[in-house]
Amino acid sequence: MRLGAREASALAGILREAAQSEIMPRFRRLGAGGVRAKSGPQDLVTDADEAAERRIAAALRRLFPDALIVGEEATAADASLLDRLAEAECALVLDPLDGTFNFAHGVPLFGVMAAVLARGEVTLAAIHDPLGDDTALALRGEGAWVERADGTRVDLRVRPAEAPARMGGIASWQFLPEPLKSRVLGRLPRLAATWSYRCAAHEYRLAASGGCHFLLYHRLLPWDHAPGWLLHREAGGHSAHFDGAEYWPRQVSGGLLCAPDRASWEALRETLLEE
């Protein structure tokens, strides 16, 4: 399937409509029972997550009638969807509300993410900001940009590389296994600054627009990372698993490090990860 700007804009429109109809009306208005824990107290789902996924999935089936749709909430009910992702001729991964913890606690930092995969390869990505009402888009081999509600477009480009001591970025260390977690935490002061938004949607947008130098993650659920990985790559960045292997959406562990270019990626890996 060949995808272009028309399909990218259509995908952006689907995410935007769901945000306007299902997410924003519930922001800071979740009623009793509107927030529930899944695997633990930090892993939440809200009525907005579920309603937005239903609406987006229905629209995606009309746009891509033969595609496998792998949504975060659907996969929570049927984990076999992940196993089918790598073999599907066309698949879509969907996070209907990334940053659910923020959303549930009234923090205005959350997004809606989707990516199209062709035989496991990410070809189109969209990350919508419901509050800013714009969408970051990427087409494989054709660049990354932000599409505003009025149709105007702003191209994205990663920040130029610097020495690690002058670089700042996202370090999501919570899921790192020991002894790697302690090693990374002990070395973070070697960098200029690190932080986390608890929202991969905005973290990837920040890196792709030059707002930070790097991103570091360990747990790699495809709906959290496939859209942002392509956005960052098409904005000129370099990323790979911690062992240097290319990112692959079906791989949910092994870490992911995103940097401005290959040389800075190597420098960051040496600074943070190597024994």
What CATH number does residue 259 fall under? 3.40.190.80
Instruction: Clarify whether residues 150 and 35 are in a common domain.
Output: yes
Q: Are residues 56 and 105 in the same domain?
A: yes
Q: Are 266 and 206 part of one and the same domain?
A: yes
- What was the pLDDT predicted at 1? 65
**Residue 275 predicted with pLDDT over 90:** no
pLDDT at 271: 98
| Judgement on whether residues 55 and 150 belong to the same structural domain of the protein | yes
Q: What is the pLDDT of residues 141-196, one digit of tens each?
A: 999 999 999 989 999 999 999 999 999 999 999 999 999 999 999 999 999 999 99
pTM: 0.96
Q: How far apart are CA 197 and CA 98, in angstroms?
A: 11
Is 150 buried (19+), middle (13-18) or exposed (0-12) by CB count in 10 A? exposed
CA-based end-to-end distance of the chain:
44
* DSSP code string of 65-126: TT-EEEEHHHHHH-THHHHHHTT-SEEEEEEEEE-HHHHHTT-S--EEEEEEEETTEEEEEE
DSSP assignment of 214-252 equals: EEEES---HHHHHHHHHHHHHTT-EEE-TTSPPP-TT--
Q: Answer yes or no: is pLDDT of 72 > 80.
A: yes
Domain identity same for 231 and 183? yes
Judgement on whether residues 76 and 193 belong to the same structural domain of the protein: no
Q: Which of 155, 183, 198 is the last residue of a domain?
A: 155
Q: What is the mean pLDDT of residues 89-104?
A: 97
What pLDDT sits at residue 40? 76
Same structural domain, 30 and 131: yes
149, 96: one domain: yes
pLDDT of residue 29: 95
**Which residue would you say has higher pLDDT here, 215 or 251?**
215
Tell which of 155, 185, 206 closes a domain. 155
pLDDT at 2 over 80: no
How does residue 17 score in pLDDT terms, banded at 50, 70 and 90?
Answer: very high
Residue among 145, 207, 105, 111 nearest 9 (CA):
145
Per residue in 99-141, pLDDT (tens digit) is 999 999 999 999 999 999 999 999 999 999 999 999 999 999 9
Residues 102 and 212 in one domain: no
Domain boundary among 104, 134, 155: 155
Supply the range of the domain harboring residue 200: 164-272
Q: Give the model's pLDDT for residue 37.
A: 87
* pLDDT, tens digit (0-9, with 9 covering 90-100), for 30-70: 987 898 888 777 788 999 999 999 999 999 999 999 999 99
Q: Tell me the per-residue pLDDT of 212-228, one tens digit each, with 9 for 90 and over.
A: 999 999 999 999 999 99
Are both 31 and 98 inside the same structural domain?
Answer: yes
| Total domains in the fold of the chain | 2
What's the CATH code of the domain at 109?
A: 3.30.540.10
- Are 150 and 247 found together in one domain? no
**38 and 113 together in one domain:** yes
